[in-house]
Amino acid sequence: MPETSGSPLPEPIPITLKINGSSHSIEVRPWSTLLDVLRDHIHLTDTKIGCDHGQCGACTILLNGQRINSCLSLAVMHNGDEITTIGGIADCENLHPLQQAFIKHDALQCGYCTPGQICSAIGLVSEGHAKSREDIRELMSGNLCRCGAYTNIVDAIEEVMRSESSTT
Amino acid sequence: MRPFKYNRPLDLATASNAGTSGSFIAGGTNLLDLMKCDVEQPSQLVDLNHLGLGSISETADGGLELGALATNTTTAYHPIVQERYPILSRAILAGASPQLRNKATNGGNLLQRTRCPYFFDTDSPCNKRVPGSGCPAKEGYSKLHAILGASDSCIATHPSDMCVALRALDATIRVSGPHGERRIEFADFHRLPGDQPEIETSLEKGEVITAILLPADGFADNFAYFKVRERASYAFALVSVAAVARLEGNQLKEGRVALGGVAAKPWRDLEAESLLCDQPCNAETFGNFADALLQSAKTYPGNRFKVPMARAAIVRALSEATHLNQL
d(CA B115, CA B292): 28
The 3-state DSSP class for residue B263 equals coil
User: Concatenated DSSP letters for B101-163?
Assistant: HHH-BHHHHHTPPP--HHHH-TTS--TTTSTTS--GGGTS--TT--SSS--SS-------SHH
Residues of B in contact with A9 (CB under 8 A): 3
In a domain, A3, yes or no: no
> Domain check: are A101 and A78 in the same one?
no
In a domain, A78, yes or no: yes
- Indicate the residue among A36, A70, A88 that finishes a domain: A88
ipTM for the complex shown: 0.96
Domain ranges of chain B: 223-326
Residue among B167, B192, B115, B145 nearest B306 (CA): B145
Do A54 and B100 lie within an 8 Å CB cutoff? yes
Class of the CATH domain delimited by B223-326: alpha beta
Burial B82-121 (b: 16+ CB within 10 A, else e): eebbbbbbbbbbbbbbbbbbbbbbbbbbbbbbbbbbbbbe
Q: How far is A70 from chain B (nearest CA, A)?
A: 9
> Domain check: are A62 and A19 in the same one?
yes
> Domain check: are A83 and A17 in the same one?
yes
> Domain check: are A76 and A113 in the same one?
no
Tens-digit pLDDT profile for residues B21-37: 999 999 999 999 999 99
In a domain, A142, yes or no: yes
Handedness of CA B123, B129, B135, B137 (dihedral sign): positive
- Indicate the residue among A36, A69, A88 that finishes a domain: A88
Q: What CATH number is attached to the domain comprising A39?
A: 3.10.20.30
In a domain, A113, yes or no: yes
Residues in A lying within 8 Å of B, measured between beta carbons: 2-5, 9-10, 13, 29-31, 33, 52-54, 57, 60, 63, 66-69, 72-74, 76-77, 120, 123-124, 127, 129, 137-139, 141-143
Averaged over A34-50, what is the pLDDT? 98
- Cα dihedral: B105, B92, B109, A52 (round 10): 80
Strands B5-7 and B44-47: parallel
Domain that holds residue A156: 97-167
Contact call for residues B261 and B236 (beta carbons, < 8 A): yes
Q: How many domains does chain A have?
A: 2
Q: Which residue of B99, B103, B113, B161 to mutate against A (max A Cβ within 10 Å)?
A: B99
d(CA B27, CA B53): 13
> Domain check: are A77 and A133 in the same one?
no
Task: Please state, for a pLDDT cut of 90, what percent of chain B lies above it.
Answer: 99
- Indicate the residue among A59, A88, A117 that finishes a domain: A88
Q: What CATH number is attached to the domain comprising A136?
A: 1.10.150.120
Residue among B186, B308, B153 nearest B258 (CA): B186
Residue among B22, B31, B21, B27 nearest B1 (CA): B31
In a domain, A19, yes or no: yes
Treating both helix axes as pointing N-terminal to C-terminal, what angle do A150-167 and A97-104 enclose, rounded to 10 degrees? 140
For residue A91, the 8-state DSSP code is: B
Do A67 and B1 lie within an 8 Å CB cutoff? no
Treating both helix axes as pointing N-terminal to C-terminal, what angle do A150-167 and A114-127 enclose, rounded to 10 degrees? 30
For residue A116, what is the nearest residue in chain B, using CA coordinates? Answer: B99
- Cα dihedral: B109, B110, B113, B115 (round 10): 60
Q: How confident is the model at residue A165 (pLDDT cuts 50, 70, 90)?
A: confident
In a domain, A1, yes or no: no
d(CA A34, CA A139): 23
Q: Tell whether B4 lies on the interface with A, counting CB pairs under 8 A.
A: yes
Average pLDDT value over all residues in chain B: 97
Q: How confident is the model at residue A10 (pLDDT cuts 50, 70, 90)?
A: confident
Residue among B147, B151, B142, B192 nearest B297 (CA): B147
> Domain check: are A39 and A72 in the same one?
yes
Is the pLDDT assigned to residue A6 strictly greater than 80?
A: no
B275 phi and psi angles, rounded to 5 deg: -75, -10
Tens-digit pLDDT profile for residues A46-90: 999 999 999 999 999 999 999 999 999 999 999 999 999 999 999
The CA–CA distances, whole Å, from A64 to A61, A68, A161, B182 equal 10, 10, 21, 35
Q: Tell whether B3 lies on the interface with A, counting CB pairs under 8 A.
A: yes
The CA–CA distances, whole Å, from B288 to A31, B275, B296 equal 52, 8, 14
Could you tell me the mean pLDDT of each successive run of 10 residues in chain B, 327 residues long?
Answer: 96 96 97 98 97 98 98 98 98 98 98 98 98 97 97 98 98 96 98 98 97 98 98 96 96 98 98 98 97 98 97 98 80
Q: What are the start-end ranges of the H helices in A2-149?
A: 34-36, 97-104, 114-127, 133-139
Is the pLDDT assigned to residue A1 strictly greater than 50?
A: no
d(CA B276, CA B282): 10
